[in-house]
Amino acid sequence: MKQNDFENKYGESWQQLEQWLKHGDTDLDLPAAYRSLCQQLAVAVERQYTNRLVDRLNQLVMAAHHRVYQQQTLRKNTWLWYLSAGFPRAIREQARYVWLATALFVLPALVLGLGSYWNDALIYAVMTPEQVMQFESMYDPANRVLGRERGSDSDLMMFGFYIKNNIGIAFRTFAGGILFGLGSIFFLVFNGVYLGAVFGQITRVGFVSTFYPFVIGHGAFELTAIVFAGAAGLRLGQSLIDPGRHRRLVALRLASVEAMKIMYGTFAMLVIAAFLEAFWSSSTQLGIGIKLGVGAALWLLVITYFALAGRGEANRGP
């Protein structure tokens, strides 16, 4: 179909949708119109119609997408749906970026972890002697508290500290994607190297009875959240490297919609991680077996959630 015929066939429906988006004074099945518009945009891109038409349809798709979400908010608890189905679905939809981010984070962590365990000098290539001593002191079994030393001994204060620290790391990892993905790659590798070195060093000095029970619980949420933030950043970077038929700004806008589906849930995971780290992981009243058992259960819960949640709603939701 030639472009003129394509525009003549669908032009009236586009005008009707534009009119509805501006005034909302006509009857329109917005979800159905939105799905049809997405199909028409895909056809326009595939057939290489002019940038003018593709850009017009892009803008219309984004405006309709926004209004669809607004309608869903009025009809049901969108956040409840998002946490129960939308978030894990978004992770699975961006699986290739998630797996790439996992590799960029885990492989350096394994290399530095094993290296620091086998070579007691390697840790000093990553951090200063003072930092090494600080980490060893944090997990010394003789300490009264676990983790970071607490001047006021306040779990609530540390809860706020962990939220700020964790979300700061995740946001930098995500926002670095705007640099054609290079920033996200850097922060994923850097954090993997840093954490791997700490794991290897603490294991080598024999503080496993305090370190692993401390990190296993909140790590299920914190470490996966960092990977997800990196995956969202890589999605932004890919849209700039390969925008396809779109202009880079339009491609970035479309990618940001997909990326934020990941980031909303990532921030929620980091709040959960901060709560566990402040009030559960740091407790010295709980036995090692209890902490390891609960930590393993949390890891299983997280994996199961992202693997299975929302699969029964493939054709529902916003």
Of the candidates 75, 97, 114, which is a domain's last residue?
75
Residue 235 CB-density burial (10 A; 0-12 exposed, 13-18 middle, 19+ buried): buried
Tell me if 170 is assigned to some domain: yes
Of the candidates 22, 43, 75, which is a domain's last residue?
75
Tell me if 62 is assigned to some domain: yes
Residue 312 has pLDDT above 70, yes or no: no
Q: Return d(Cα 318, Cα 312) in angstroms, integer.
A: 14
pLDDT tens per residue across span 92-135: 999 999 999 999 999 999 999 999 999 988 889 888 888 888 88
pLDDT tens per residue across span 270-292: 999 988 888 887 777 778 889 89
The predicted structure's pLDDT at residue 188: 96
The predicted structure's pLDDT at residue 315: 43
Instruction: Tell the residue number behind the tokens 């402040």, with chain if given.
Output: 278
Q: Which residues of 160-187 are buried (b: 16+ CB within 10 A; e: fewer)?
A: ebbbebbbebbbbbbbbbbeebebbbbb
Q: What is the largest CA-CA distance in the chain?
A: 79
Residue 318 has pLDDT above 60, yes or no: no
Query: Does one domain contain both 48 and 158?
Result: no
Pick from 149, 286, 165: nearest CA to 214: 286
| pTM given for the model | 0.72
Residue 82: pLDDT band with limits 50, 70, 90: confident
Tell me if 200 is assigned to some domain: yes
Pick from 227, 198, 223, 174: nearest CA to 122: 198
Residue 204 φ/ψ, nearest 5 degrees = -60, -40
Tell me if 103 is assigned to some domain: yes
What is the identity of the amino acid at 76?
K
**Own/partner pairs for 293-299, CB < 8 Å, 24+ apart?**
294/217, 295/213, 295/216, 295/217, 295/219, 295/220, 296/216, 298/216, 298/217, 298/220, 298/221, 299/216, 299/219, 299/220
Tell me if 177 is assigned to some domain: yes
- The H helix count followed by the E strand count for the chain is 12, 0
Question: Under DSSP, is residue 282 helix (H, G, I), strand (E, B) or coil?
Answer: coil
Tell me if 318 is assigned to some domain: no
Query: Does one domain contain both 305 and 183?
Result: yes
Query: Does one domain contain both 149 and 49?
Result: no
Domain span at residue 90 reads 81-313
Of the candidates 75, 110, 138, which is a domain's last residue?
75
Q: Return d(Cα 262, Cα 290) in angstroms, integer.
A: 31
Whether 51 and 277 have beta carbons less than 8 Å apart is answered as: no
Most confident of 23-32, 162-171, 302-311: 302-311
Query: Does one domain contain both 265 and 118?
Result: yes
The predicted structure's pLDDT at residue 104: 96
Cβ count near 313 (within 10 Å) = 13
Please state, in angstroms and as integers, the Cα–Cα distance from residue 35 to each residue in 62, 263, 281, following that order.
12, 24, 46
Whether the CA torsion 193, 160, 134, 212 is positive or negative: it is negative
**Structural domains counted in the chain:** 2
Whether 87 and 172 have beta carbons less than 8 Å apart is answered as: no
Query: Does one domain contain both 94 and 70?
Result: no
The predicted structure's pLDDT at residue 283: 74
The predicted structure's pLDDT at residue 248: 85
Query: Does one domain contain both 14 and 155?
Result: no
Cβ count near 259 (within 10 Å) = 24
Whether 138 and 148 have beta carbons less than 8 Å apart is answered as: yes
Query: Does one domain contain both 210 and 109?
Result: yes
DSSP state, 29? -
Query: Does one domain contain both 123 and 47?
Result: no
Query: Does one domain contain both 237 and 109?
Result: yes
pLDDT tens per residue across span 211-223: 888 888 899 999 9
Query: Does one domain contain both 38 and 85?
Result: no
Query: Does one domain contain both 112 and 33?
Result: no
Tell me if 25 is assigned to some domain: yes
Query: Does one domain contain both 205 and 155?
Result: yes
